[in-house]
C-alpha cells in the first residue's frame, strides 16, 4: 500500500461545475484503480462554495479519499468579469493563478507529498508550463465529447476556411475525416459566430488548447470507446495520445456542488409518481434559459399534462420572477427547484424524460441512467451533443427552434409525446436509451482498462487482474447511482 501511495496526481480544475464534477469522478477512479493519492485544486472562491462550513477560505479539506487545496486566482470573493471578454479574463486568471499553483506544487513536495502527474481541464494551458518547470508530466482532461474534440482538431487542421465561408448556411454539410457528416447547425457555435465577442474569444482559447497539445499531446477524454469510436479513430494516434476513461460515472451525494441544493423534498415527491411519468427539465449550471424560452416551456409543460420537475436557478430568474409564478404557470402537477442532485433524479424510476440543454455532463448522466432526452441546445458544444443524441445514438429527439432560437410550447409537446408516448418511435427511443445505459455500465465494469493502463504507466506497475476490477467497478458505479 505504501508503495502504491508514492504516486500523486494533482488535478487543476477550472472553477465551473461542469469542470469540477468530472474532475472529482476522475479523482475517485484514479484512487480506486491505481491506489494513488489525488489532490484536487480549483480557485479559492469555488473551493469556498464547495465547502461552505470551512473556517478559512483556503483551508485544506480531505473527504477520506480526495484532498482539496485551493489556489488564488485574484478573485477570491468571486469572479467579477464585468466588461472583460472571455480571453481577457482567461489571460488575467493565468497571471494571478500560475505562480500560486507553482507554489502549491512546491509546498506539496516540501510536505513529503510530491506530485508525480498534473492533470488540467481546458482553459488552464499555463498549468502545462508549471508542470514543465517542476519536471512533472502533464495531461489534458477533455471534459466534452470526443466528437467535439475531433471537430475542434479538424477545424484547426484544415477546415477553418471551409466552415467560415459557409457559416451563414445552417444546412451546409461538413465531412470531417472519419466522422459522420455534420451540418453547420450541428457544429460548436464558436466555429460560425464571427460577431459575438464571447464566441470569438472562446475559439481563440480553444486554439491555445490545441497549440499546447502539439507540444504535449496526452489527453484523457470523459467518454468510452463504444459511444464514440469513430471520433476517437479519426485522430491520428501518432499526433495525439488519447485515453478514454470510461464515462467517469456520474457524481452523486458528494462534495463538489457549487450550488446549494433546494430544501424542497423533491425525491419524496418523485416517489409519489408513476414509473416513467415525470418530465425532468434542467439547463445545467451555466446555460441561461431566455425569458421567451421559459414562457414556452411553461406553456408546453402545461399542455403536455405530464408531471414535471424543473430546475430554474436563482441567477436565471427575471426581476420579480419567483418559483411560485413559474410553478403555477406550468400546471398543478409540477415542482420547481433552484438546484437538485441531478443523478439521483435521473436514476429515479419515475423520471421518463430529460429536457436538457445537452451539456456533456448532463448528456452522459442521462445516458448512464438510461433516460431518453429532448435536446434543447443553446450554444457551444451543445448543438453537436444534440446531434449525437438524436442521430448517432437514437436515444432522444432534438426540438426544432423558431427564428429566435426558441422551442415553442407546441414543439415541446410534440417532442415529449414522441419520446414518452406509446408510438413505435417512442418505444424505439426508450429501448435505445436502455441499450446505451447497459453499454456505459459495461465500459466501466471492464476494469477501466484504458484508465488503469494510463495510471499504471506512470506507476510502472503491471496491469491488475481484470476479473477483480470487473466486480469492484460495477459495484462502484451502482453505488454512485444509488441503485
Q: Note if 19 is an active site residue.
A: yes
Max CA pair span of the chain: 64
**Could you count the other beta carbons within 10 Å of the beta carbon of residue 80?**
8
Q: Which of 7, 8, 19, 199 is catalytic?
A: 19
Q: Which set of grid coordinates corresponds to residue 238? A: 501518432
In sequence order, the 6+-apart residues with CB closer than 8 A to the CB of 144 are 122, 222, 360, 381
- CB within 8 A of 242, min separation 6: which ones? 146, 219, 221, 232, 235
Nearest Cα to 221, choosing from 158, 286, 154, 150?
150
Angle at 165 between CA 159 and CA 170, to 5 degrees: 95
Q: N- to C-terminal Cα distance for the chain?
A: 30
* Cα→Cα distances 130→38, 42, 44, 115, 286, Å: 18, 15, 19, 12, 28
203: CB partners within 8 A, 6+ apart: 190, 191
Backbone angles phi, psi at 407, to 5 degrees: -85, 115
In terms of Cβ atoms closer than 10 Å to its own Cβ (0-12, 13-18, 19+), residue 110 is: exposed
Pairing of strands 334-337, 396-398: unpaired
Catalytic residue positions, numbered: 19
Amino acid at each position: 500500500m505504501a508503495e502504491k501511495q508514492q504516486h500523486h496526481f494533482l488535478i487543476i480544475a477550472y472553477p465551473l461545475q461542469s469542470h469540477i464534477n468530472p474532475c472529482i469522478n476522475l479523482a475517485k477512479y484514479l484512487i480506486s484503480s491505481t491506489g494513488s493519492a489525488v489532490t484536487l485544486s480549483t480557485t479559492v472562491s469555488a473551493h469556498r462554495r464547495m465547502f461552505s462550513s470551512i473556517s478559512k477560505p483556503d483551508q485544506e479539506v480531505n473527504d477520506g479519499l480526495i484532498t482539496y487545496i485551493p489556489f488564488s486566482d485574484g478573485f477570491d470573493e468571486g469572479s467579477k468579469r464585468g466588461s472583460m471578454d472571455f480571453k481577457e479574463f482567461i489571460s488575467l486568471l493565468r497571471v494571478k493563478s500560475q505562480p500560486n499553483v507553482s507554489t502549491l506544487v512546491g509546498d506539496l513536495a516540501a510536505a513529503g507529498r510530491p506530485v508525480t502527474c498534473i492533470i488540467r481541464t481546458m482553459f488552464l494551458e499555463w498549468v502545462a508550463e508549471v508542470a514543465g518547470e517542476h519536471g512533472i508530466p502533464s495531461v489534458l482532461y477533455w471534459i466534452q465529447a470526443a466528437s467535439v474534440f475531433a471537430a475542434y482538431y479538424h477545424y484547426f487542421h484544415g477546415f477553418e476556411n471551409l466552415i467560415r465561408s459557409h457559416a451563414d448556411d445552417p444546412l451546409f454539410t461538413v465531412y470531417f475525416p472519419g466522422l459522420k457528416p455534420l451540418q453547420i447547425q450541428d457544429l460548436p457555435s464558436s466555429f460560425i459566430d464571427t460577431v459575438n465577442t464571447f464566441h470569438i474569444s472562446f475559439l481563440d482559447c480553444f486554439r491555445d488548447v490545441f497549440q499546447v497539445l502539439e507540444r504535449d499531446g496526452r489527453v484523457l477524454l470523459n467518454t468510452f470507446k463504444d459511444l464514440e469510436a469513430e471520433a476517437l479513430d479519426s485522430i491520428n494516434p501518432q499526433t495525439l495520445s488519447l485515453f478514454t476513461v470510461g464515462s467517469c460515472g456520474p457524481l452523486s451525494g458528494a462534495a463538489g456542488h457549487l450550488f446549494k441544493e433546494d430544501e424542497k423534498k423533491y425525491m419524496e415527491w418523485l416517489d409519489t409518481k408513476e414509473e416513467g411519468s415525470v418530465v425532468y427539465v434542467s439547463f445545467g449550471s451555466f446555460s441561461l434559459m431566455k425569458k421567451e424560452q421559459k414562457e414556452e416551456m411553461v406553456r408546453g409543460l402545461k399542455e403536455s399534462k405530464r408531471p414535471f420537475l424543473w430546475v430554474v436557478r436563482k441567477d436565471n430568474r427575471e426581476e420579480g420572477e419567483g418559483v411560485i409564478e413559474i410553478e403555477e404557470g406550468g400546471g398543478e402537477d409540477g415542482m420547481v427547484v433552484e438546484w437538485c442532485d441531478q443523478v439521483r433524479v435521473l436514476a429515479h424510476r419515475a423520471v421518463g424524460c430529460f429536457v436538457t440543454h445537452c451539456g456533456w455532463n448532463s448528456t452522459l448522466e442521462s445516458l448512464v441512467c438510461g433516460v431518453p432526452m429532448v435536446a434543447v441546445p443553446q450554444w457551444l458544444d451543445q448543438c453537436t451533443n444534440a446531434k449525437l443524441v438524436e442521430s448517432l445514438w437514437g436515444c432522444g429527439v432534438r426540438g426544432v427552434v423558431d427564428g429566435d432560437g426558441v422551442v415553442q410550447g407546441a414543439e415541446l409537446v410534440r417532442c415529449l409525446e414522441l419520446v414518452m408516448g406509446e408510438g413505435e418511435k417512442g418505444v424505439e427511443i426508450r429501448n435505445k436509451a436502455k441499450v446505451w445505459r447497459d453499454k456505459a455500465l459495461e465500459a466501466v465494469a471492464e476494469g477501466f482498462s484504458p484508465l488503469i493502463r494510463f495510471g499504471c504507466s506512470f506507476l510502472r506497475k503491471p496491469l491488475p487482474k481484470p476479473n477483480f476490477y470487473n466486480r469492484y467497478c460495477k459495484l462502484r458505479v451502482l453505488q454512485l447511482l444509488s441503485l
